[in-house]
Amino acid sequence: MNQQHQDERVRIREAMDRLLTGQATASNGSLTVVALAAEADVHRMAFLKRHVDLKNEFYERVRTETHQVPETEKRLRETVTKLKKTIANQKAEIEELRQLVTRLTLASAVLTHESDSHTEPAPVVDNVVPFPRSTT
């Protein structure tokens, strides 16, 4: 590791300590990677690419030291809950539509049967020439 990476790692660890003690100086103080990168004066993408282990360490410290769930995990859990609710609603709607199709099919069959049994055959008109049926 070169000296620049070592300096970044030191700044990131110091920024972790400040955020976890609520003494943020360069960020909004939230317990997120974005705030940590801002607090350490390290570009967020550089932080995420070069210091993944520190990101994981930060989130682990957030869990253990503050007894909080990281913001990203909260958002993911909320999204999962919403998606599960959406899936349940869609399954219920599909089942309702299947029942409706069955009822409509039965109603159509009853109406077709009733109309066939009550109607008289159509009168034969002498000026109508039937088309031959195709064999294909």
Domains of the chain, by residue range, sit at 3-68, 71-112
Report the pLDDT value the prediction gives residue 119, as an integer from 0 to 100. 59
Report the pLDDT value the prediction gives residue 96, as an integer from 0 to 100. 96
> Which pLDDT tens digits describe the chain residue by residue (136 residues)?
688 888 889 999 999 999 888 888 888 888 888 999 999 999 889 888 889 999 999 988 888 888 777 777 888 999 999 999 999 999 999 999 999 999 999 999 888 887 766 656 566 677 777 777 777 6
SS (H, E, C) the chain: CCHHHHHHHHHHHHHHHHHHCCCCCCCCCCCCHHHHHHHHCCCHHHHHHHCHHHHHHHHHHHHHHHCCCCHHHHHHHHHHHHHHHHHHHHHHHHHHHHHHHHHHHHHHHHHHHHHHHHCCCCCCCCCCCCCCCCCC
Report the pLDDT value the prediction gives residue 79, as an integer from 0 to 100. 96
Q: Are 55 and 31 in contact (CB under 8 A)?
A: no
Report the pLDDT value the prediction gives residue 101, as an integer from 0 to 100. 95
Query: What is the reported pTM?
Result: 0.52
